[in-house]
């Protein structure tokens, strides 16, 4: 009986240790999520894009024009990938 009791105590200790470690890791994950929220799609970003909508569109247009000149193959790849994503979502219009 003593051996079984010792094994049970050891298993309980291991389980408690793993539970504590799991709690610590969950706390770390929550803290990292809070820190990440500062940098991803918060109100500041939305306000920036609303206030500078024309500037952002102009920069995107300039990037595409520069890409046309420098690397047309990359542009074809982007457009093909966009086509495949639209096709996957079923957004493409079907000819009647």
Q: What is the pLDDT of residues 2-34, one digit of tens each?
A: 888 888 889 999 999 999 999 999 999 999 999
What number of residues does the chain have?
96
Among the ranges 24-28, 36-40, 60-64, 85-89, which has the highest mean pLDDT value?
Answer: 24-28
Rounded average pLDDT over 69-89: 92
Split at pLDDT 50, 70, 90, the class of 94 is low
The total number of structural domains that make up the chain:
1
Q: Compute the distance between CA of residue 71 and CA of residue 15 in angstroms, rounded to an integer.
A: 57
Residues 34 and 24: their CA atoms lie apart, in Å, by 16
Query: Is 94 part of a structural domain of the chain?
Result: no
Q: Does 96 map to a domain?
A: no
In a domain, 75, yes or no: yes
Confidence band for 93, pLDDT divided at 50, 70 and 90: low
Residue 79 belongs to some domain of the structure: yes
Please check whether residue 23 lies inside any domain of the structure.
yes
Residue 95 domain-assigned (yes or no): no
Which two structure tokens, joined as six digits, stand for 57? 């569109």
The pLDDT mean for the chain works out to: 89
Contact 75/68 with Cβ under 8 angstroms? yes
Domain region containing 39:
2-89
């Amino acid at each position: 009986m003593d051996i079984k009791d010792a094994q049970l105590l050891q298993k309980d200790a291991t389980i408690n240790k793993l539970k504590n470690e799991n709690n610590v890791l969950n706390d770390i994950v929550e803290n990292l999520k809070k820190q990440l929220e500062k940098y991803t799609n918060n109100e500041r970003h939305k306000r920036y894009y609303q206030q500078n909508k024309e500037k952002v569109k102009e920069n995107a247009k300039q990037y595409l024009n520069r890409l046309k000149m420098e690397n047309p193959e990359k542009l074809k790849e982007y457009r093909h990938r966009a086509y495949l994503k639209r096709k996957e979502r079923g957004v493409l219009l079907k000819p009647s």
